[in-house]
Structure 1
């Protein structure tokens, strides 16, 4: 396992590694040779057998949210929607050394994203489902996420930039409250983009990252793909057209599109701002994004992060 380094909330590799070894020992898995995939608000490890992914939260205060994600994953398996599956035969989530721990089946050996039509098909299938009340999904509201992002801006952010983003958040919060949504309100993935749909070992597209499931206007699940095409140029016109064709609705033709697009790019920018003090590359990209938002500049200069 890797050593050194600190994630969000002061979560260290050493603390995560100790929790990993203890949690794996509790359930009869071998932590030897585990590879640290990511360290942020969660530590994510791939076990050496290549079949199990272990997620460890920074602290156990997130237990309720993790338990909800586990419940969502189990329900998706019951309704046969292709998504990331929990390792069977293990009671989850587990609390180990003050961390909430979950065990997931590894989707693939080598990272391979699926296509936009496949993402659209999965979202359409998901959006037709009626979630059971037992999941107790929250109602989606972008305001708390935006406010948390603003509160997380630290020493790496200039006061004038923080003030500008705060003013923008105030305006967008009011505009969001006045939107007239046209798609049915209901179950959403919450972070639907091409990075969260992988091709599994059988070649099938599956949804991953189930943490943000909520009840909301379905337009929110379509906004990132439109934004990535329209403003960032990360998708081609043909790719976006195929997404629209498979889903059956073009969110860019809806009058509220610009407000949702502005909200999502603000959230993406605030997330980088929270990393700016510790990561020079994040600080550089954050500054670029703030300047383009302030001046109406070209978002095609934005880099995926």
Structure 2
């Protein structure tokens, strides 16, 4: 690791990267953090990416490797493992190793749609779990940070109750499209677009089986909630998926609410290591509570401090 990296969250994962590399027979010398978010992503010499999970995500890391191989078998463009096995780490964490993609940017929304259309047409493999309660991730984040001081006790109590209400709404959803394999966190930041125009799915650790509307909602909130993409761009997304607009689905408001909760709890979680993001976290809570008027709201991407590697979105 170079001396210029002073981000506390990156520093905290460096011993885990070192241990994982040595266990796998790799040399971590010269490793650089790429993005420190839900997973800590590092690049090591030799065109290999190391992903270290958060505590409690070991099983998801092992499933992610299976999912990547399954996608390769079905010719879906996605990141490929650089090794067949994960390295288990303390606190129920794991590290996985991946082939580094060529230079790339975030994908376009129509790239997301095309890849999802391809994914959603496949038969789900046995290793993918059902998506039973996506609101649970938001609640788990809240439980983990409830005493951190980013959000006051009154707002925290409201958020926890709101998470329970959204879970109830999920279980009461009307039938929509037939259940399919899901990416689980399908947005433009989880698609890589290389210079030659090739698009690849990234971050496969949330893959599951469930309503495809869940994957489509991630982009729909960019226009209905945060106003971060124009309507014309969203229309291109709908067209690239085949013409289905998830905002017409009766259960869209419930799915949108869960996505908004997860985006908000992510900002709260991030503010622990990056205190300058606390204001954005509180702004999002105020929006959810109805204090900032109707949607769309103005939400700002949650970044690393200046000089640190990569954005947290």
Q: TM-score, normalised by structure 2?
A: 0.85
Within a 5 Å distance, the mapping from 1:226-305 to structure 2 comes to 226-247=220-241, 248-294=243-289, 295-297=291-293, 299-305=296-302
1:195 equivalenced with 2:189 (yes/no): yes
User: Quick check: 1:126 aligned with 2:119?
Assistant: yes
Match of 2:142 in 1: 150
Contact 2:87/2:94 (<8 A) preserved = yes
1:161 equivalent to 2:131? Answer no
Which residue does 2:88 correspond to in 1? 95
How far is the alpha carbon of 1:5 from its aligned partner?
4.8
Deviation at 1:71, TM superposition (A): 0.5
2:75 corresponding residue in structure 1: 80
**2:166 & 2:153 partners in 1: Cα distance?**
20
Report the Cα distance in structure 1 between the residues aligned to 2:107 and 2:211, rounded to whole angstroms: 24
Superposed displacement of residue 46, structure 1: 1.0
**Alignment TM-score, normalising by the size of structure 1:** 0.87
Alpha-carbon distance, 1:168 to partner: 2.0
- Is 1:34 the counterpart of 2:31 in the alignment? yes
Q: Which runs of 5+ in 2 are unaligned?
A: 303-313
Instruction: Report whether the alignment pairs 1:104 with 2:101.
Output: no
Change (3 A) 1:122 1:167: same
Ranges in structure 1 where 5+ consecutive residues have no aligned partner: none
Q: What are the Cα deviations for residues 140-171 of structure 1, in whole angstroms up to 9, with x where unaligned?
A: 31242132022023222111111221232233
| Residue 120 of structure 1: how far off its partner (Å) | 0.8
CA RMSD of aligned residues (A): 2.3
| CA distance in 2: counterparts of 1:216 and 1:268, whole angstroms | 20
Equivalent in the alignment of 2:48: 52
- 2 CA distance for matches of 1:171 and 1:91? 40
Distance in 2 of aligned mates of 1:73 and 1:284: 37
Query: 1: CA distance between counterparts of 2:258 and 2:94?
Result: 30
Provide the rounded CA distance (Å) in 2 between the counterparts of 1:162 and 1:190: 25
Cα deviation code 1:122-141 (max 9, x no counterpart):
101100000222x2424331
Residue 13 of structure 1 contacts residue 39 of structure 1 at CA under 8 Å; is this kept in 2?
no
Selected match of 2:164 from 164, 170, 174:
170
Q: Secondary structure at the match of 2:184?
A: coil
Corresponding residue for residue 65 of structure 2:
70
Give the C-alpha shift of residue 291 in structure 1.
1.4
- The 1:176/1:26 distance shift into structure 2, 3 A limit, reads closer
Separation in structure 2 between the aligned mates of residue 102 and residue 255 of structure 1, nearest angstrom: 39
CA distance in 1, matches of 2:262, 2:15: 32
Task: Tell me which stretches of 4 or more aligned residues in structure 1 moved more than 6 Å.
Answer: none
Matched residues, number? 294
Q: CA deviation at 1:227?
A: 0.7
Q: How far apart are the structure 2 equivalents of 1:79 and 1:97?
A: 34
Q: CA deviation at 1:215?
A: 1.0
Aligned 8 A contact 1:57 1:101 in 2: yes
